[in-house]
A = this chain, B = another copy of it.
Amino acid sequence: MNPALRKTAFLLVAGAVLAGAIALKAPAFGYAADDAAPVYVTKIPNGFRDWRLISVAHEEGNLHSFAAMLGNDVAIEAYRDGKLPYPDGTIIAALHYGHVASEENDKVFGDPQSFVPGPPTNTQFMVKDSKKYAATGGWGFGHFNKDGSLGTEAQLKTCFPCHAKASRDFVFTNYAP
């Protein structure tokens, strides 16, 4: 090959590699990439409130919290198939509310025994992308306040160390049949 052709071939190959790299960086799972904070989930995934149910949860201690965990299609399939680790594209949403007594229900039952979701408190997400979030077990973590704003860096950096203690690929929640 003469030097001019060799240079042209090099540029073509370099261009193709660059194009591939750009394609790999494009958001693939319905959330937008944010280069300023690449280790966290910084945009609320579209349509999460329509996702199917994984399970429910209730935290006491200082939290008095009620949660519903929803999953996108990749998450629900992985849960139902018992697939571990969760595949890239998995998104798990945790919708948190206060855990409050229902005055209306308690009047009907005749006893204080019925608890329902109070006002929403926050919504959290785990997004599996083994390349983008390689430094945190392949999971990106997101915390959004009730007004939809992103949690602080101080909040966001507490997610991974705690989920690192979960026994099933950084996930605490089991599937409720």
A45 beta carbon closer than 8 Å to chain B: no
The range of chain A's interface size is: 35 or more
**Cβ–Cβ < 8 Å partners of A117 in chain B:** 55-56, 176
Q: Which residue of B lies closest to A146 (CB)?
A: B177
Q: CB < 8 Å: which of B59, B95, B108 contacts A113?
A: B59
Q: CB < 8 Å: which of B53, B57, B108 contacts A70?
A: B53
Q: How many copies does the complex hold?
A: 2
Contact: A58 with B115, CB < 8 Å? yes
A35 beta carbon closer than 8 Å to chain B: no
The contact sample of 15 A-B pairs, CB cut-off 8 A, is A49-B52, A49-B53, A52-B52, A53-B68, A55-B68, A55-B116, A56-B97, A57-B114, A57-B115, A58-B99, A61-B113, A97-B176, A102-B172, A104-B167, A120-B176
